[in-house]
Amino acid sequence: MQSEFKGFFNNLALGKLAFPNCKSCGAFHWYPMKYCPHCQSANIHWQPVGGIGRVYSWTVVRHSFNAVHTLPLPYVVALLEFEDAPNVRLITNLVDTAPESLTIGMKVEPILTGLNEGEPPVKVIFRKARVEII
Amino acid sequence: MEPTIAIVGVGETAPLRKSTKDVRELTLEASLSAIQDAGLQCSDIDGIITDAGIMPSTVPQDWMAAQLGISPNFTACLSYGGAGIVAAPMLAQYAIESGRATAVLFYFGVDWGSRADGPYAFHDMYPAKKTFEKPYGFNAQPCYFGLWTRRYMHEYGLTEDDLAEIAISQRANALLNGRGQMTTALDREGYYKSRLISDPLRAADCCLLSDGAGAYVMTSRKRAQDCRKTPVLVRGVGFGGVAVTGDDVFTQGKSLLISPAAAKASEFAQRAAGITLEDVDFAEIYDCFTISCLMQIEDLGFCAKGEAAAFIRERGITVGGRLPVNTHGGLLSYSYRLGIEHMVEAVRQLRGESGNAQVANARVGLVGGFSPPDYGVTILSR
């Protein structure tokens, strides 16, 4: 794994969703890069976010493209935006949410998951937000 | 600007899902056929161009040079796939005008029809896609473009009928051409019977998978007069990139629904050619998916963003329409060799060699090649 990617997983392991943020210009970027792509500063830190996202778009995948790396079909891939992390769009899976009920702009909340029950999180998936946050 | 170079030879292998020949043999066959089409000998070729992403590891230039007995004075690689395939005349023009080369071969081939992971494995070269997308099953081009389609529908009110129109029109073109991989007609009912791959995209919205290759030969306008076929003039070439990585292009960036590189490349090519899109008689546009063809019609400047569905309905994009698009059936219905078939077809149209799929009085053709985030445009004329 690229060294600049590791902060994401280190934060997940601590139960936090965080994105790279530049201390020089204050902007977020995604995917992680060596230098801030907005101002080329190397002074980047991982800024935790609240976790509530909004659906920018989604697709229901109904075909297995790779025999080895696939999820049980069908599954929902969503692209999310976060109010407290502009410039970031996160690819994730939406679970516990019927595809017919999906709408663009819908609020979703994170679920951090490990490879096995009780292990530290390595993935972040989302479901429809249970609590309306103002 | 007066055109200085011309395409004088084209070649391709037959459109095919799976070939018994490997990609080197296919690419060699297409290259020889292009050189022969030009009425040239291998020894006449002194420049070689290909893409910079796929060919260097599968059919490298040194192998092609040795196989054809060419000692090149000029070699170059440009972008990967589509954009490089279409914008390569930009480099040939430089080489020929500066006297570094007199006859330049461009070649491209793929075996993605028979290779196990086909085009999907290509994206493994992107570390962020591998780390942050594959674990979530976001691992193939139909997923990327499915996501774009949903967003486009939300912002501009696109319907499935609008996508069907493109798939159906291009299938009609493929049947007129008669050589493509798809040989049965597609109507609206057939479109809706086509299975969903990654909502809202159906199989009929996705390009084919193919084994095959294509090539073209360029030389100076002056020398072109002595070649076997009517020269097709390179009127203007445009190439554009964006400050976005291949990792990011499908998900990040201000808007996913605009490809700024396409607009840039199109404007540059038009300026260089001294003509506008109003002069274009037909277009071969990188239709990896119905949605991407539709979006490029906008980004190239044929109409404003959000208006392509109406534009397509009103103008008509079949061979008999007011703007024929992908006159051979395109990547959707002819073959998927990342757009080399688009260059070959544009040349055939301008020579009047397209048979039943010939666009009447075709004088100017535009070819657009997309390798996100890069874009290439070449405008050709008789």
| Nearest alpha carbon to residue B281 among B360, B215, B219 | B360
Q: Which residue of A has its CA nearest to B142?
A: A61
Binary contact (B154, A91; C-beta < 8 A) = no
Its ipTM equals 0.95
pLDDT of residue B116: 82
Q: What is the 3-state secondary structure (H, E, C) of chain B?
A: CCCCEEEEEEEECCCCCCCCCCHHHHHHHHHHHHHHHCCCCHHHCCEEEEECCCHHHHCCHHHHHHHHCCCCCEEEEECCCHHHHHHHHHHHHHHHHCCCCCEEEEEEEEECCCCCCHHHHHHHHCHHHHHHCHHHCCCCHHHHHHHHHHHHHHHHCCCHHHHHHHHHHHHHHHHHHCCCCCCCCCCHHHHHHCCEEECCEEHHHECCCCEEEEEEEEEEHHHHCCCCCCCEEEEEEEEECCCCCCCCCCCCCCCCCCCHHHHHHHHHHHHHHCCCHHHCCEEEECCCEHHHHHHHHHHCCCCCCCCHHHHHHHHCCCCCCCCCECCCCHHHHCCCCCCHHHHHHHHHHHHCCCHHHCCCCCCEEEEEEEECCEEEEEEEEC
> Which residues in chain B have their CB less than 8 angstroms from residue A10's CB?
none
Q: How confident is the model at residue A69 (pLDDT cuts 50, 70, 90)?
A: low
Contact status, residue B359 vs residue B281, Cβ threshold 8 Å: yes
pLDDT at B120: 87
Asked if B135 lies within 8 A of A65 by C-beta distance, the reply is: no
Q: CA–CA distance from B93 to each of A32, A106, B55, B233, B259 (Å)?
A: 38, 51, 21, 11, 26
Which of B130, B150, B156, B242 would best serve as a mutation to test chain A binding (most A beta carbons within 10 A)?
A: B150
Tally C-beta pairs within 8 A across A and B. Answer: 100
- Tens of pLDDT, residue by residue over B172-201, are 999 999 999 999 999 999 999 999 999 999
Q: Does A65 contact B134 at a Cβ distance shorter than 8 Å?
A: no
Q: B198 vs chain A: nearest CA distance in angstroms?
A: 4
A31–B150 C-beta distance less than 8 A = no
Instruction: Decide if pLDDT at A7 tops 70.
Output: yes
B199–A75: do the CB atoms touch at under 8 Å? no
% of chain B surpassing 70 pLDDT? 100
pLDDT-above-90 percentage for chain A? 81
> Distance (Å) from the C-alpha of residue A8 to the closest C-alpha of chain B?
10
Name which of B197, B199, B251 is nearest A89 (Cβ-Cβ). B251
Work out the average pLDDT over B234-247.
95
Mean pLDDT in chain A?
Answer: 93
Which of these ranges, A1-5, A62-66, B329-333, B350-354, has the smallest mean pLDDT?
A62-66
**Average confidence (pLDDT) over A38-49:** 98
pLDDT at B24 over 80: yes
Look over chain B and give the mean of its residue pLDDT values, rounded to a whole number.
97
List chain A residues with CB under 8 Å of B149: 59
Confidence of residue B253 (pLDDT cuts 50, 70, 90): confident
- Tell me the pLDDT tens digit for each residue of A102-114: 999 999 999 999 8
Per-residue pLDDT of B51-80, as tens digits, reads 999 999 999 999 999 999 999 999 999 999
d(CA B72, CA A31): 40
What is the pLDDT at residue B329?
98
**Predicted local confidence at residue A131, as pLDDT:** 67
Contact yes or no for A89 and B195 at CB 8 A = no
Contact B147 A77 (CB under 8 A): yes
Quick check: A116 pLDDT over 90? no
Residue B373 has a pLDDT of 94
- CA B259 to chain A, closest CA, distance in angstroms equals 17
Of the candidates B294, B271, B272, the one whose C-alpha atom is nearest the C-alpha of residue B283 is B294
Tokens 């249970």, residue located: A130
Tell me the Cα Rg of chain B. 19
Q: Give the phi and the psi of residue B39 in degrees, each rounded to 5.
A: 75, 25
> With contacts defined as CB-CB under 8 Å, which chain B residues touch A56?
151
User: Chain A residues with CB inside 8 Å of B132's CB?
Assistant: 5, 8, 31, 90-91
pLDDT in tens, A47-68: 999 999 999 999 999 999 876 6
Instruction: Give yes or no for residue B21 having a pLDDT over 60.
Output: yes
The pLDDT of residue B241 is 95
pLDDT at res. B174:
98
CB–CB of A31 and B197 under 8 A? no
> Which pLDDT value is given to residue A133?
53
Distance CA(B29)–CA(B12), nearest Å, equals 8
Query: What is the rounded distance in angstroms from the CA atom of residue B204 to the CA atom of residue A86?
Result: 36
Which of B112, B120, B136, B148 best tests the A interface by mutation, with the highest count of A CBs <10 A? B136
What mean pLDDT is predicted for residues B154-168?
98
Chain B residues with CB inside 8 Å of A61's CB?
137, 143, 146, 197-198
User: Among B135, B247, B256, whose Cβ lies nearest the Cβ of A123?
Assistant: B135
pLDDT attached to residue A118? 80
The contact set of A with B (CB < 8 A) is 1-2, 5, 8, 30-32, 37, 56-63, 65-66, 69-71, 75, 77, 79, 87, 89-93, 99, 104, 123, 125
Residue B156: burial class (beta carbons within 10 Å; 0-12, 13-18, 19+): middle
Q: How far is A134 from chain B (nearest CA, A)?
A: 24
The whole-angstrom distance between B183's CA and the closest CA on chain A is 24
* Residue for token pair 């998951």: A113
The pLDDT tens digits of the residues spanning B338-373 come to: 999 999 999 999 999 999 999 999 999 999 999 999
Q: Do B120 and A61 touch (CB under 8 A)?
A: no
pLDDT interval class at A117 (50, 70, 90): confident
* Min Cα separation A5/chain B (Å): 8
Summarize pLDDT for B118-133 with one digit per residue, the tens. 888 888 889 999 999 9
Chain A residues with CB-CB distance to B133 below 8 A: 91
CB contact under 8 A, B117 and A66: yes
Is the per-residue pLDDT at B107 higher than 90? yes
In the predicted structure, residue A134 carries a pLDDT above the cut 90 = no
CB B292 within 8 A of CB B300: no
Are residues B245 and A59, on separate chains, in Cβ contact within 8 Å?
A: no
Q: Are B9 and B35 in contact (CB under 8 A)?
A: yes
Contact A1 B154 (CB under 8 A): no
